[in-house]
């Protein structure tokens, strides 16, 4: 399952990434393997989404979320 398929409010754990370039940016922002992640909100038009990770809130596009594979 990828992060883009996670339901709002559900908790996931980051496992790995499908895109190396994107993963580097995501990991810098605290989105690392083993880290707990929840979907906080979806933008009014359905994209992007806001997630809680590493103690703060991060927004990313659905496409970017789809490169994050959850455990």
Binding to other proteins by residue 55, rule CB under 8 A? Answer: yes
Binding to other proteins by residue 21, rule CB under 8 A? Answer: yes
**Burial, 34: exposed, middle or buried (Cβ in 10 Å; 0-12, 13-18, 19+)?**
exposed
Q: Give the angle 36-42-44 at the CA atoms, nearest 5°.
A: 170
Binding to other proteins by residue 13, rule CB under 8 A? Answer: no
Binding to other proteins by residue 60, rule CB under 8 A? Answer: yes
Residues at the site binding other proteins, with contacts judged by CB under 8 A? 20-30, 32-33, 40-48, 50, 54-61, 64
């Amino acid at each position: 399952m990828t992060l883009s398929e996670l339901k709002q409010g559900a908790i996931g754990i980051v496992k790995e990434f499908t895109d190396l370039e994107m993963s580097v940016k995501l990991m810098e922002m605290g989105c690392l393997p083993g880290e707990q992640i929840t979907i906080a909100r979806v933008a009014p038009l359905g994209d992007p989404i806001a997630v809680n990770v590493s103690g703060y809130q991060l927004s990313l596009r659905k496409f970017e979320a789809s490169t994050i594979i959850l455990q």
